[in-house]
Amino acid sequence: MTSDTPSLRVQGLRVAYDDRIVIDGLDLNIPPGQITAVVGPNACGKSTLLRTVARLLTPQSGGVFLDGQSIHQLPTRQVAQRLGILPQSPIAPEGMTVSDLVSRGRAPHQTWWRQWSTSDEGAVRNALAATEMTDLADRRVDELSGGQRQRAWIAMAVAQGTPVLLLDEPTTYLDLAHQIDVLDLVVDLNRDEGRTVVMVLHDLPQACRYADHLIAMKAGRIVASGRPSEVITEELVDTVFGVRCRVSPDPVSGTPMVIPISRHHQGVS
Amino acid sequence: MSLPVTIRLARPAVSVRVRPRVALVGLVLLVLAFLLLCLGMTIGEVPMGLSDVLSGLFGVGDTGNGYIVQELRLPRALTGLLAGLAFGASGAVFQTITRNPLASPDMIGINAGAATAVVAGLAFGFGDGLGSTSLGLLGGLASGLIVYVLAWRRGTSGYRILLVGIGISAMCTSLTDYLLSKAQITEAQASMGWLVGNLANRGWDNVVPLFAAFVVLFPLVLGLSRWMSTLQLGDEVAAGLGTPVQPVRLGLLLAGAGLVAFATASAGPIAFVALTAPQIAQRLARLSSPPVVASALGGAVLVLGSDIVARVITPTGLPVGIVTGALGAPVLLWLLVRANRSGSGG
């Protein structure tokens, strides 16, 4: 998969809901084969950006280019063979099993005369194995724990077999152990299969830890982007989140760790 | 859950996936529908056995029986069969695209729209037959389109379709009541007989338009149903999987509304078939969404069976809609209670 990792580029993007402009004139290059995390305060347009890149939203002007072709003009099925998106907190129909859900990730590769090829079967088997869901394949999705459910959905996106994978807040509503679980899985998908991953994350230290490339957004614009250790400074966190903080190296991963300063906790020195 | 079985050829690279349980449910319902179709034709003023009906059908034996079967009983039976198929299929479509088992066409105003148009026709004297068929079609499609347009807000969501549909349904029902209160007593009576869903005195002029609509619209629904398995996961997931969400939804909505409108025009707005048949088929087949073909056959079994019950319990014959309502209401209540328990009742 590494050899044909497509390039993903955003140019002059302008997105609006009715009259309210959310993103205006945004340019962006997603580094292929890396994990990119998009961070920023609530309503900064990070989720809107991801959904526009995934062609779930249509921009007013500008475009998203997958290997140089406009994603909003390509046949949607062709896009789905190269780019997968897992929206925020999807809900499976009552009674659907994990294997049934994961199988539906193969939809963009299927036709009337090819409903279930050997590659469909292999992709689903690998996706279940990669997400450690093989043993739960026959369980109902609505009976799983939050973390298992999220892994089932990620397995569906993995089964889609796209070199580019977009994840909208994949750790929302998960407890700490499951958050780490899901993010470690994302790294596996990137390292083992060379997939390009772009994800929106809420937690800044987690984004620093797991992303190769960080994009900080505020009010529909990119304020800074680059390696987390280069991007995250005390000034930037103040600019983007309006929070004064100290930045020190994470004792476990060495990546920047953001420690906020609040009214009641001004620091010891 | 019913597990799929794959049939695969290496060259040409063809593979087909079948769920044996779904196929079995479909087959059983098909046989049942055929048996009920024949059994229904034995009932009437002239008592007949199954053999009389069959020989009458193929024009052998008694010519009197042949006339009764071919001109009086077959049209009634076929109207019931086709209306049941149409209601069942469109119920499966609406419940899937809205991801809500309550969003059947009889709940979201399609039946009510068709009913209003037909009652207006009867009240203003446009007459019966082809006139009310086209009125029913126009009314059903118009209310379907209005629901779609009013539910549109940067695309349509299943929940908005259901809520807007309930509103449209209520408006159409009050309009129908108003027309009935203004109509002459004879017209009102004719309308009432039709409004509960009735298969009495159906002729070939009821069968032909419904058959033509079914032959066109049912394959269209089947063609679009491939996308229903992704739409079931929600609009955004479906779009991410390469489903052209809005065109597919509009196509399914119009085809579903068309089926219901034609069926309503021919047989009246037979209650609860579109709501219950897909749910019953889904549970029999042990799936997470209603299967289209089995739902259609389930609808046919429900309508044909109810029509037999209706004629057996009273000598004059109740309108079929009263029986399907009596059977369907408990099923609806059961569904609601069940949805509340599992927390998805909304």
Least CB–CB distance from A97: residue in B1, B241, B243: B1
Which of B16, B102, B241 is the best mutation test for A, with the most CBs of A within 10 A? Answer: B241
pLDDT at A267 over 80: no
**Burial zone of B206 (CB within 10 Å; 0-12 exposed, 13-18 middle, 19+ buried):** buried
- pLDDT single digits (tens) B286-315: 888 899 999 999 999 999 999 999 988 887
A104 to B342: CB separation less than 8 angstroms, yes or no: no
Average pLDDT over residues B127-149: 80
Average of per-residue pLDDT values in chain B? 86
Pick from A198, A264, A245: nearest CA to A50:
A198
Give the pLDDT band of residue B340 (cuts 50, 70, 90). low
Residues, chain A, total? 269
For residue A97, the chain B residue with the least C-alpha distance is B1
- Decide: A189 and A213 in contact? Cβ < 8 Å: no
Task: Scan for tokens 């193929």, then name that residue.
Answer: B58
Coil, strand or helix: which one is B230?
helix
Average pLDDT over residues A122-146: 93
pLDDT at B154 over 80: no
- pLDDT single digits (tens) B28-52: 999 999 999 999 999 888 888 888 8
Out of A146-150, B121-125, B317-321, the most confident range is A146-150
Say which residues have a Cβ less than 8 Å from residue A263's Cβ, sequence separation at least 6: none
Which of B6, B15, B224, B227 is the best mutation test for A, with the most CBs of A within 10 A? Answer: B15
Least CB–CB distance from B240: residue in A85, A94, A112: A85
A55 to B14: CB separation less than 8 angstroms, yes or no: no
Give the pLDDT band of residue B81 (cuts 50, 70, 90). very high
Q: Which residues of B touch A143 (CB under 8 A)?
A: none
**Burial zone of B233 (CB within 10 Å; 0-12 exposed, 13-18 middle, 19+ buried):** buried
For residues B24 and A4, what is the distance between their CA atoms, to the nearest angstrom? Answer: 44
End-to-end CA distance of chain B: 24
Strand pairing partners for A66? Answer: A8, A69
Average pLDDT over residues B208-223: 94
For residues A55 and A57, what is the distance between their CA atoms, to the nearest angstrom? Answer: 5
User: Lowest-confidence range among A49-63, B85-99, B185-199?
Assistant: B185-199
Q: Which residues of B touch A142 (CB under 8 A)?
A: 342
The verdict on A19 touching B (C-beta cutoff 8 Å) is no
What is the per-residue pLDDT for B17?
84
The gap from C-alpha B213 to its chain's centroid, in whole angstroms, comes to 13
Coil, strand or helix: which one is A2?
coil
Of chain A residues 26-65, which have a CB less than 8 A from chain B?
51, 54-56
Give the pLDDT band of residue A69 (cuts 50, 70, 90). very high
Pick from A135, A183, A131: nearest CA to A154:
A131
Strand pairing partners for A17? Answer: A20
For residue A165, the chain B residue with the least C-alpha distance is B240
Token code pair at residue B186: 């004879």
Q: What is the ipTM of this complex?
A: 0.91
Token code pair at residue A123: 């992709």
For residue B15, the chain A residue with the least C-alpha distance is A114
pLDDT at B345 over 50: no
Q: How far is B8 from chain A (nearest CA, A)?
A: 7
What is the per-residue pLDDT for B127?
59
Token code pair at residue A149: 């459910």
Please compute, for residue A230, the number of CA atoms within 13 A of its CA located in the half-sphere on the CB side. 9
A160 to B16: CB separation less than 8 angstroms, yes or no: no
* Ordered domains of chain B (ranges, CATH): 75-336 (1.10.3470.10)
A94 to B226: CB separation less than 8 angstroms, yes or no: no
Q: Which residues of A touch B342 (CB under 8 A)?
A: 94, 142
B236 to A97: CB separation less than 8 angstroms, yes or no: no
Coil, strand or helix: which one is A260?
strand
Token code pair at residue A62: 């500008």
Average of per-residue pLDDT values in chain A? 92
Average pLDDT over residues A58-80: 94
Q: How far is A37 from chain B (nearest CA, A)?
A: 19
What is the per-residue pLDDT for B56?
84
Average pLDDT over residues A149-153: 93
B237 to A90: CB separation less than 8 angstroms, yes or no: yes
Coil, strand or helix: which one is A11?
strand
Beta-carbon pairs below 8 A across chains A and B: 92
- pLDDT single digits (tens) A167-193: 999 998 888 988 998 899 999 999 988
